[in-house]
Amino acid sequence: MKKSVFLGALTVAGIIAGGASAATLDEVKARGKLNCGVTTGVPGFAEPDASGVWQGFDVAVCRAVAAAVLGDGNAVEFVPTTGKTRFTALASGEIDLLARNTTWTFSRDVDLKFEFTGVNYYDGQGFMVPTELGVASAKDLDGATVCIQTGTTTELNLADFFRSNNISYEPVPIETGAEAVQQYIAGACDVYTTDASALAAQRANFEDPSAHVLLPEIVSKEPLGPLVRHGDNEWADIARWTLNALITAEELGVTSVNLEELSAGTENPEVNRLLGTEGELGSMLGLDAGWAKAALGVAGNYGEIFEKNIGAATPIGLARGLNAQWTDGGLIYSPPFR
C-alpha cells in the first residue's frame, strides 16, 4: 500500500522536474516554467517577502529570463540553494539558471563546466567593524576575530589578504548571514566580512547602523552574474542577451513607463531592434520578436531594477558605483544589439 504513495510521488516528480539534456529551451517551454536557483535569503538580492513572493535583484534576472522565454515573469519556480548545493543543482539539471550572487571565477567557468552569461553586479569583499573600535583600515586588524560567511570565495580572499599583509587573524566561519550578524552584533567577532553589497544590506537592518563602518579596503573582485550549464549555447545566449537587454534598455532610455509607447516604433533603430519592431533578433534566439519587451515589462530596465531592490531609496541603500552604466563611469556595458 505504501509503495503506491511512492509511485504516485514519483509520477508527480516526473511531471514537475524535467530532465537534464541539451535543449534546455525546449524543456523550459514544455514545462511552462523556468527553474531558477536563488539564495535562501539575502536582503535585496533574493528573499521571499511576507506573502511568500520572491523579491530582489537576482530574482529580477530570473523573472526577466522567464518573461523573455515564456512571456510571463511569474512563470518561475524559485529553487533556494545554499553555497554547497547550487552547483550540483545546476549541473544535475534541477535548475535551468542560477542567479545567486555567484562570483565568476576561472575554475568555476572552466573546471566546474559552467557558463557565466554576464555580470549583473560588480561586487568586492569588504569589512565591517564597529565604529567604537576606531579601526580605519583593514591593515589595522592584526589579531582580530573575523566572522566569515562560508560557501563563497570569501574564505580564500580573506586568507590571501591577511597572508599578503603578514598579519594574523582568527577566522570564525558561519553558515548563514543571519547567524554571522548575530555573532558580530554580540561582539563574538570584531569584524564581519562578506561581499560589500551584503554588508551594506545587513548593516541597514541593524538597530543603529551608524555604529558600524565599512572599511575602505575591498580585497577582491567579485563579479556576480547568472550562470548556466556548459554545452547548451542556445540557452546560454538567451540568458546572456536577456541580461544585456536589461542593460541596453537603460542605456537607450527604455523604461517600464515608456515601453509601450516605444514598442510602437521609434526613430532609433537600436531601440526598434531591441523591442522587436525591426530585425529578426528574437527568432535568432528561438524566441518571439517581443522577447526583450516582455523581459523589460516585468520590472523595467537594469537601472529600475537596481533602484527598486537595492538602490539608494531602499533600506539596502547601495550607490550605483561600479554598477553604473559605462556612459556614467561604471562598468555596466552591454554589447550592441545588432
Partner 1 sequence: MTTLADPHKESFKLSMLLNDTRYRSLTFQFIALVAIIAAMAFIGGNLVRNLAEAGLNISYDFLGAQAGYDINQRLISYDSQDTHGRAAIVGLLNTLIVAFLGCITATVIGVVAGVLRLSPNWLVRKIMSFYVEIFRNVPVLIWILIIFSIMINATPAPRAFRGDNATASMWFFDSVAVTNRGVYLPKPIWGTGSMLVVGVFIASIIGIFLFRRYARKQLFDHGKMVPTLWPTIGLFFVPAILAQLVMGSPISLDYPELKGFNFTGGAQIRGSLIALWFALAIYTGAFIAENVRAGILAISKGQTEAAGALGLRPGRIMNLVVLPQALRIIIPPLISQYLNITKNSSLAIAVGYMDLTGTLGGITLLQTGRAIEAVLLLMMFYLIISLSISFIMNIYNNSMKLKER
Partner 2 sequence: MSDSTSNVAFVRTEQIPPSAPPMAASGPVKWVKDNLFSGVFNTILTLVAFYVVARFAVFVFPWFYNGVWDAASRKECLEILDGVNGACFAVLVDRWDHLVFGFKYPPEGYWRIILSVVLLLVAAAPALFSSLPRKLLFFTAFYPFLAFWLVWGGSLWLPLTILGLIIATLLIFRLISSEISVDVRKLVAGAIGVICGAGLAYLLFIGAQELVFIANSVGTEGLVSTVAYGVFWIMAIFAYVFCIPMGIFVGYAIFNSFEDGGLVSIVASLLFAYLAFSFLLAPIWMALNAVAPIELPAVASRDMGGFMLNMLLGTICVSLSIPLGILLALGRQSPMPLIKGVCVVFIEFIRGVPLITLLFVANVMLAYFLPPESNFDLILRVIIMITLFSAAYIAEVIRGGLAALPKGQYEAADSLGLDYAQATRLIILPQALKISIPGIVNVAVGLFKDTTLVSIISMFDLVGMIRGPIQNSTEWTSVYWEVYGFGALLFFVVCYSISQYSQWLERQLNTSHH
| 181 touches, from partner 1, partner 2, none (C-beta below 5 to 8 Å by class) | partner 2
Pairwise CA distance, residues 313 & 100, whole Å: 23
By the rule CB under 8 A, 160 interacts with partner 1 = yes
In the complex, minimum distance from the CB of residue 275 to partner 1, in angstroms, rounded to a whole number: 37
Q: How far apart are CA 62 and CA 70, in angstroms?
A: 12
| Residue 110 CB neighbours (<10 A) | 10
172 is in the binding site of which of partner 2, partner 1, none (Cβ under 5 to 8 A by kind)?
A: partner 1
Q: 6 is in the binding site of which of partner 2, partner 1, none (Cβ under 5 to 8 A by kind)?
A: partner 2
Bridge-partner residues for 176, per DSSP?
Answer: none
Stretch of residues binding partner 2 (CB under 8 A), selected from 84-92, 132-140, 214-222, 298-306: 84-92
- Which helix (H) or strand (E) covers residue 38, if one does? strand 34-38
Phi-psi region for residue 300, left (φ > 0), alpha (ψ -120 to 50) or beta?
left
CA distances (Å), 318 to each of 87, 114, 198, 314, 336, in order? 28, 29, 10, 8, 27
Using CB under 8 A, count the residues that bind partner 2: 55
253-312 residues near partner 2, rule: CB under 8 A: none
Task: Scan residues 34-63 and list those touching partner 2 (CB under 8 A).
Answer: 40-43, 47-52
Residue 184 has a CB neighbour count (10 Å cut-off) of 26
Shortest Cβ distance from residue 153 to partner 1 (Å)? 8
Q: How far apart are CA 206 and CA 185, in angstroms?
A: 9
Pick from 231, 253, 315, 335: which binds partner 1 (CB under 8 A)? 231
Q: Which does 214 bind (CB under 5 to 8 A by kind): partner 2, partner 1, none?
A: none
Which residues contact partner 1 (rule: CB under 8 A)?
A: 20, 83-84, 87-88, 91-92, 107-108, 111-113, 132-133, 141-145, 150-151, 155-156, 158-160, 162-163, 169-175, 179, 182-183, 186-190, 229-231
